[in-house]
Amino acid sequence: MHYSDYKTILSSQNGINLYRGCTHGCIYCDSRSKCYQMKHDFEDIEVKRNAPFILERQLRGKRKPCMIGTGAMCDPYIHLEEELQLTRQCISIIERYGFGLSILTKSSRIIRDLDLLKAINKKTKCVVQMTLTTYDENLCRKIEPNVSTTFERVQVLNTMKQEEIPTIVWLGPILPFINDMEENLIGLLNYCAEVNVRGILCFGFGVTMREGNREYFYAQIDQLFPGLKKEYIQTFKDAYVCNSPNHNHLMSIFKNFCERHQILWKPNDIFSYLKQFEEKEQQLSFFY
């Protein structure tokens, strides 16, 4: 871990990332790619220690409230968050200034901040997004070793359902020759229906690889699934998008399931929902 100070924290799309790097250990992580120009080891987390101060300053400069997103590049609930609580501090600021929140994680640590999520959702909209990849718990522990298991994540989604906080699932990546089976997909989709998710984001059934994350992924599958690296190289060579041979079949199942259960599945529809700010109750605001 090391600290850095930043001049801004909000992106042009109103997204924030409080950390750079991750300790979840997911074997497929795209954030390891060299194109993101991370100048430190991935597990040596860069902590944006002045993030709460900068966020509050930038929110005060907004002409009107909007949705604030976090979790796109780094999970806001990595292990360090237990001690540093940067995510909680920033969520508290977002709540205090009347902004909405869209937060993406793989960790059950988010339950710690349920009080703030409920407070935001009472005034405007709080959307909890959870990544699901693998129905099999044992396989989940292999490919996502240092983070909450699939079942633990589904328990989080169920808690949000009980609290009437809307949820979105990011479905993937689905790793060719590893978890690209119909049984895996159906298991995950049934979970989504049980906890009444509003939408499921799926950009295809496969994995993306580029310089940086490809080398790490191959090193990991060499250890976990001996012989599979050769099959990947023969099948995909240097391709960025590596779709499963079962892609079309799985996509058909996915679309039909979502339509049948009235779950949003078109990415544009989901992203429009995530960006749409809502105001649920009259309140005094510094904007007026």
- Sorting pLDDT into bands at 50, 70 and 90, what band is 280? confident
pLDDT in tens, 17-64: 999 999 999 999 999 999 999 999 999 999 999 999 999 999 999 999
What mean pLDDT comes out for the span 283-288?
48
Please compute the mean of the pLDDT values over residues 141-169 and round it to a whole number. Answer: 98
Chain position carrying tokens 């979840």: 24
Tens of pLDDT, residues 67-100 = 999 999 899 999 999 999 999 999 999 999 999 9
Give domain limits for the chain. 2-275
pLDDT for 168-207, tens place per residue? 999 999 999 999 999 999 999 999 999 999 999 999 999 9
Q: Tens digits of per-residue pLDDT, 217-275?
A: 999 999 999 999 999 999 999 999 999 999 999 999 999 999 999 999 999 999 999 99
Amino acid identity, position 261: H
pLDDT of residue 282: 53
Structure tokens at 75: 């999970």
Average pLDDT rounded to a whole number, residues 103-117: 98
Looking at residues 130-135, what average pLDDT do you find? 98
Cα–Cα distance list, 221 to 226, 257, 260 (Å): 7, 31, 36
C-alpha to C-alpha distance for 280 and 273, rounded to whole angstroms: 15
Per-residue pLDDT, 281: 64
What pTM value is reported for the model? 0.95
Residue 288 pLDDT:
43
pLDDT for 156 equals 98
Domain 2-275: which CATH number of 3.20.20.70, 3.20.20.150, 3.40.50.300, 1.10.10.10: 3.20.20.70
- The confidence score (pLDDT) of residue 265 equals 98
- At 83 the pLDDT is 97
Q: Token digits for 119?
A: 């407070």
pLDDT of residue 284: 47
Q: What is the pLDDT of residue 54?
A: 97
- Say what the alpha-carbon torsion angle 154, 156, 157, 163 is, to the nearest 10 degrees: 150
Residue 18, token pair as written in the block: 């409080």
